[in-house]
Chains A and B, each alone.
Chain A
Amino acid sequence: MRVKARAVLRTAAALALLALGAGAVQAKSVRWAASGDPNTMDPHSQNVGTVTMVLQQVYDPLLKRNQDLSLAPGLATEWRQEEPTRWRFTLRQGVKFHEGEALTAEDVAFSVQRALQPTSNFGIYVDTVDHAVAVDERTVDIILKRPDPILSNKLASIFIVSKSWSEKHNATRPQNTRAREEMHTTRNTNGTGAYRLASREPDVRTVLARNEAWWGWGVEGNAGNVTEIVYRPIASDATRIAALLSGEVDFVMDPPLQDLNRLRAAPGVKVIEGPEVRSIFLAMDVNRDELLYGDVKGKNPFKDLRVRQALYQAIDVQAIHRTTMRGQSVVTGTLFPEQVNGYVKAEDVRLPFDAARAKALLEQAGYPQGFSVTLDCPNNRYINDEQICQNIAAMWSRVGVRTAVKSQPLAPFFAQIQKDDTSVYLLGWGVPTLDALYSFQSLLAFRNGDQGDGIWNYGRYSNPRMDALVQRMKTDTGEARQAAITEALKLYREDVPHIPLHHQMIPWAMRSNVQIPHMANNQPYFRWAVVN
C-alpha cells in the first residue's frame, strides 16, 4: 500500500504546530457539524458512517488505522496467524474503560461474539469468524470458519466493549433498530477511547470529553490537543455553511460542493480535500424477466448487454464531474478506487461517452424508440446524489430512454431497494476493509444466504464465474488472490452489471485554527486534531 505523501506532510505540519503550542494546557473545544445524526450509540448495531464517526472517538478496536489507513496496534499490541483458521491477539496492558473497568481478554472475546449476534450490523467484518476465546488475561484467540486473508483489516472496524458493563445493563446483544428497540446502549457508551461521551441529545448535540487516561496519548503520533468535541447535526446545507462562516462551528465534514469556492475565499476558513474510498455507480435489475418500472412489457431490456452498454455510453461522466461535482470526483471505470487492495490500473477504463453509439446499440437491441424507466435515487446520502440522477435522466432521455427520477431520503430508499423493488438505482459503496473482496462479495456475488454474499446486490446480478472468483478471494492469498481480483475486475467491465461513475472526493471545511488530517474513509480522528 502506498503511503500518501500529502498525509505525511500534513501530519508533520500538525506536529510542528503542536510543538509550538506544547505545554499550554487549556480547554480546546471543537464544534463539529455534519448533516446527519447518529441514530444509536450502540457499538455493533449500525454500520453507518454517521454512527462510526462518533463512536470511533469513544471505542477502540483491536487494531487502529494510521493516517494512510494502514493498520497500527490498537488494543492489541501484537497479532499473528497461529494456524490458517486461528489468530492470536495480545492485548495492551493497563487499558481501562471510561467507567473504570480494566480491559481483559474476556471483554474482547465478548465484543467479537456480540458483533456476531443476529441483531449486529457488523456481520460482514466477522463473517469468517466462528468464535473468539480468551486464552488468558491478555490473550485472545479468534477461531475462523475458513482462512481469511484480510481478517486484521476487518477487525479494525470492530469496537471493543466491556463485558461486565454490557451484562449489567442488559445489553449483551446489539440493539435491534429494526424492531424499534431502545436499550441502554442507545444513548450510553463505555469505551476505552480517547474521548468519552459526556452528553447526548439525539438530533441536537453530542458532547465528547477528552479521556486524559487514554492509553494512546503517550503513543507517538497521537498528538491532538482537543479537550472537548461538540457535535451538532445541521441538516440544511445553507445553514451548516453559514454556521461555519460565522464561526459558530469549527469543522464541517460535508460542505456542499457548490460552496467550496466561497469557503476557500472566506477569511478564517479553509478547505482540505482528499479522495474518499467510496464509488458511485448505477446498478440495473438484470434478473427480472419483465421491466418492473417502465413501459416495456414482456421483457427486461437490462438483461440485454447492449442496452447496458448503450446506457453506459450515453453518460457524459466528464460533464457531471465538471458541473455537478465541481471537479470534486475521480471519474472511474471500475468498482473501487486505488486505495483499495486489489485495484488494477489497467481495468480502470470506461466505455467512452458516445451518444450515437448508444442509440445504435439500443436500436440493435430492439429499442429504436427507446423505452421509459424509473431511476431510484437517494437524495441525502451521497454528494449531490439527486442532481447526479437528474443529470443521468437528461442524458438517457437524449438517447431515447425516457427516465423518471424517483428520489427519496435514504431510509425509504434503502427500504425499497432492499426488497429488490427497483429497475435501476444509484448507489455509493465505501470499502472500510480497504480490500476488494468487500465490494465483490457484497455487490456482485449471488445472494445465497451466506454471511455477506450479495447482500447489497439488489440488481441480482448472477454469474457463476463471478461467484467462483469471490470464493477464491475469500481463501486464496498472495498472487493467486490478486489474479482472482484482476479477473473479477475484467469480468465486471465485460458484463456491465453496473455503470460506474466516479469515486467521491471528500472536502472537509474548517476554521483556520483547526488542524485535522483528512482521511480517505471520511472519518475524522480527533486524537490527531490540533486547535490553536
Chain B
Amino acid sequence: MASALARAFDSDLWWSFKRSPVTVASALVALVCILGALLAPWIAPHNPFDLATLNLGDAFKPPAWAEDGDPLFGLGTDDQGRDVLSAIMYGARISLLVGVCAVVFSTLVGVAVGLLAGYLGGTADSLLMRIADIQLTFPSILIALLVDGVVRAAVPREVHDQIALFVVIFAIGISAWPQFARTVRGSTLVERNKEYVLAARIIGISQVRIMLTHVLPNVIGPVLVIATLNLGFAILAEATLSFLGVGVPPTQPSLGTLIRIGNDFLFSGEWWITIFPGIALICMVLSVNLLGDWLRDALNPRLR
C-alpha cells in the first residue's frame, strides 16, 4: 500500500490507459466537455446570459445543417432565441462546477471524518461511523432534495437566488461523504498500526502530520476512484434536481434546466432544444463514469 500512489502514476497506469480505446475515447470526450465548459466565455459563439443580445426573431432556429438552419447557430436556437450550443457550453459549465465542487466538498468532509475516525478510534470512531451508516441508508437524491427544500423554505427568496448554487453544491456534496469516510477509515485503521506510524509517533511527530504525510497518501488511490465515480453521480443529481425545478436558479441554467425547458418542445418538432443538452449530459456523465471504471480496475489489479 505504501507505494500505491507511486504505483498509480507509473507506466502501468499509462499503459493500461493507452491499451483501452474506450478509455482513451472517453478521456477525449471528457476533455472536450471540460474545455468547452471552462472556456465557454471565450469560445462560445454567443453569450446566452446577456439578455440584451437575445433577439426573439432568432427563436426556434433548427440546427445549421437542417433546412431552415442558420450557420450562426450551429445547434439551433431555443424559444428565447438563445444559441443552443452556447447554452450547452455555459450549462455544462454550471453542471461541472456544481459536480466538481460537490465532489470536492464531500471528499474533504469524507476524508477528514474517515481519518479522524480511523485514527482516533473508540467512541469518536463509532459515533462518526454510526452517523455515516444512518446517512447511507437514505438515498442521496432524497437528502439533496430535502436540504434544498429546507433551505429554500428557510431563507427569503432573494437571498436564496444568490446562494442557490452553494445550496445545491452543499446538498449534493453532503449526501456523498460517508462513502469516502468509510473507505478512508478502513485504510487508516490498517496504516495506523504499521511500524512506521508507530515509529513516527514515538519520535514525536504530531498526529496531524502523521495522518497527512503517512496515512493520507495511502488512501488517495481509492479516494480518487470514488471521487471520479461520484462526479458522474453528482452531475446527474444536479440535473435531476434542476429537472424537478429545485436545482440551480433558472438565471444560470445547467444542462438539467435546459433539458427541462426543452422537454416542452420535444414533441412539437423542436427536438434540438432538449436532445442536444441531453446528449451533452449523457456524454459528460458516461465519459466520467467510464474513466472512473477504468481507474478503479487499473488501481485494483485483482479485477483485471
B263 to chain A, nearest CB (A): 6
Chain A residue contacts of B130, Cβ below 8 A: none
- Asked if residues A394 and B54 are in contact (CB atoms below 8 Å), the reply is yes
Considering only CB atoms, which chain B residue lies closest to A370 in the complex? B52
- Asked if residues B52 and A394 are in contact (CB atoms below 8 Å), the reply is yes
Q: Does B157 contact A (CB under 8 A)?
A: yes
Chain A residue contacts of B80, Cβ below 8 A: 387, 390-391, 394
- Asked if residues A403 and B264 are in contact (CB atoms below 8 Å), the reply is no
B78-121 interface mask toward A, CB cutoff 8 Å, 1 = contact, 0 = none? 01110000000000000000000000000000000000000000
B252 to chain A, nearest CB (A): 12
Q: Please name the 6 residue pairs, one residue from A and one from B, whose CB atoms are nearest each other, closest first.
A: A397-B51, A258-B268, A319-B56, A394-B54, A323-B59, A397-B52
Considering only CB atoms, which chain B residue lies closest to A236 in the complex? B263
B38-57 interface mask toward A, CB cutoff 8 Å, 1 = contact, 0 = none? 00000000000011101111
- Asked if residues A402 and B51 are in contact (CB atoms below 8 Å), the reply is yes
Given A258-B264, A319-B57, A387-B79, CB of A407 within 8 Å of CB of B269: no
B267-292 interface mask toward A, CB cutoff 8 Å, 1 = contact, 0 = none? 11110000000000000000000000
Q: Does A54 contact B (CB under 8 A)?
A: no
Residue among B50, B161, B268 with the most chain A CB within 10 A? B268
B148 to chain A, nearest CB (A): 16
Q: Does B17 contact A (CB under 8 A)?
A: no
Cα(A260)–Cα(B80), bound, Å: 19
Cα(A316)–Cα(B81), bound, Å: 14
Q: Does A291 contact B (CB under 8 A)?
A: no
B247 to chain A, nearest CB (A): 15
Select which of B56, B251, B266 is within 8 A of A391 by beta carbon.
Answer: B56
- Asked if residues B51 and A241 are in contact (CB atoms below 8 Å), the reply is no
Which A257-286 residues have a C-beta within 8 angstroms of B? 258-262
B79 to chain A, nearest CB (A): 6
- Asked if residues A262 and B268 are in contact (CB atoms below 8 Å), the reply is yes
B210 to chain A, nearest CB (A): 52
Q: Does A431 contact B (CB under 8 A)?
A: no
Chain B residue contacts of A238, Cβ below 8 A: 263-264, 266-267
Q: Does B265 contact A (CB under 8 A)?
A: yes
**Chain B interface main SS type:** loop
Q: Does A398 contact B (CB under 8 A)?
A: yes
- Asked if residues B56 and A241 are in contact (CB atoms below 8 Å), the reply is no
- Asked if residues B52 and A241 are in contact (CB atoms below 8 Å), the reply is no
Cα(A397)–Cα(B56), bound, Å: 13
Cα(A259)–Cα(B265), bound, Å: 7
Which B224-265 residues have a C-beta within 8 angstroms of A? 250-251, 263-265
Select which of A261, A395, A396, A406 is within 8 A of B157 by beta carbon.
Answer: A406
A396-412 interface mask toward B, CB cutoff 8 Å, 1 = contact, 0 = none? 11100011111100000
Residue among B60, B80, B251, B267 with the most chain A CB within 10 A? B267
Interface residues on B, range: 20 to 34
Cα(A405)–Cα(B251), bound, Å: 8
Which A25-49 residues have a C-beta within 8 angstroms of B? none
Cα(A241)–Cα(B266), bound, Å: 11
Given A324-B79, A397-B52, CB of A404 within 8 Å of CB of B264: no
Q: Does A469 contact B (CB under 8 A)?
A: no
B58 to chain A, nearest CB (A): 9
- Asked if residues B267 and A262 are in contact (CB atoms below 8 Å), the reply is yes
Chain B residue contacts of A387, Cβ below 8 A: 79-80
- Asked if residues B79 and A256 are in contact (CB atoms below 8 Å), the reply is no
Chain A residue contacts of B267, Cβ below 8 A: 238, 241-242, 259, 262
Interface positions of B (Cβ within 8 A of A): 50-52, 54-57, 59-60, 79-81, 157, 161, 250-251, 263-270
Cα(A119)–Cα(B250), bound, Å: 37
- Asked if residues B60 and A323 are in contact (CB atoms below 8 Å), the reply is yes
Cα(A406)–Cα(B55), bound, Å: 20
Chain B residue contacts of A398, Cβ below 8 A: 51-52
A424 to chain B, nearest CB (A): 15
Chain B residue contacts of A256, Cβ below 8 A: 264, 268
Given A258-B270, A394-B80, CB of A320 within 8 Å of CB of B264: no
A63 to chain B, nearest CB (A): 39
Chain A residue contacts of B266, Cβ below 8 A: 238
Cα(A242)–Cα(B268), bound, Å: 11
Chain B residue contacts of A259, Cβ below 8 A: 267-268
Select which of B51, B56, B60, B268 is within 8 A of A316 by beta carbon.
Answer: B56
Which A353-405 residues have a C-beta within 8 angstroms of B? 387, 390-391, 393-398, 402-405
Chain B residue contacts of A260, Cβ below 8 A: 268
- Asked if residues B56 and A320 are in contact (CB atoms below 8 Å), the reply is yes
Which A272-311 residues have a C-beta within 8 angstroms of B? none
Q: Does A237 contact B (CB under 8 A)?
A: yes
Q: A323-B56, A394-B56, A395-B56 are in contact. List 19 more A-B contacts (CB 8 A).
A: A238-B263, A238-B266, A256-B264, A258-B79, A258-B268, A258-B270, A261-B269, A262-B268, A262-B269, A320-B56, A323-B60, A387-B79, A391-B56, A391-B80, A394-B51, A394-B80, A398-B51, A398-B52, A407-B250
Chain B residue contacts of A242, Cβ below 8 A: 267
Cα(A405)–Cα(B80), bound, Å: 13
- Asked if residues A404 and B251 are in contact (CB atoms below 8 Å), the reply is yes
Which A498-513 residues have a C-beta within 8 angstroms of B? none
Select which of A262, A324, A396 is within 8 A of B56 by beta carbon.
Answer: A324
Cα(A249)–Cα(B79), bound, Å: 28
- Asked if residues A237 and B60 are in contact (CB atoms below 8 Å), the reply is no
A118 to chain B, nearest CB (A): 30
Residue among A256, A261, A394 with the most chain B CB within 10 A? A394
Cα(A261)–Cα(B266), bound, Å: 13
A-B contacts, 9 of them at CB < 8 A, read A238-B266, A256-B264, A261-B269, A323-B57, A323-B81, A324-B59, A324-B79, A394-B52, A395-B56
Cα(A193)–Cα(B93), bound, Å: 57
Chain A residue contacts of B51, Cβ below 8 A: 393-394, 396-398, 402-403
A476 to chain B, nearest CB (A): 43
Considering only CB atoms, which chain A residue lies closest to B266 in the complex? A238
Chain B residue contacts of A405, Cβ below 8 A: 250-251
B134 to chain A, nearest CB (A): 33
B162 to chain A, nearest CB (A): 12
A308 to chain B, nearest CB (A): 20
Chain A residue contacts of B55, Cβ below 8 A: 394
- Asked if residues A323 and B79 are in contact (CB atoms below 8 Å), the reply is yes
Which A426-464 residues have a C-beta within 8 angstroms of B? none
B132 to chain A, nearest CB (A): 37
Considering only CB atoms, which chain B residue lies closest to A323 in the complex? B59
Chain B residue contacts of A323, Cβ below 8 A: 56-57, 59-60, 79, 81
Considering only CB atoms, which chain B residue lies closest to A237 in the complex? B264
B278 to chain A, nearest CB (A): 14
B66 to chain A, nearest CB (A): 16
Cα(A233)–Cα(B111), bound, Å: 47
B49 to chain A, nearest CB (A): 11
- Asked if residues A258 and B265 are in contact (CB atoms below 8 Å), the reply is yes
Considering only CB atoms, which chain A residue lies closest to B56 in the complex? A319
A208 to chain B, nearest CB (A): 29
Cα(A179)–Cα(B59), bound, Å: 45
Chain B residue contacts of A316, Cβ below 8 A: 56
Chain A residue contacts of B264, Cβ below 8 A: 237-238, 256, 258
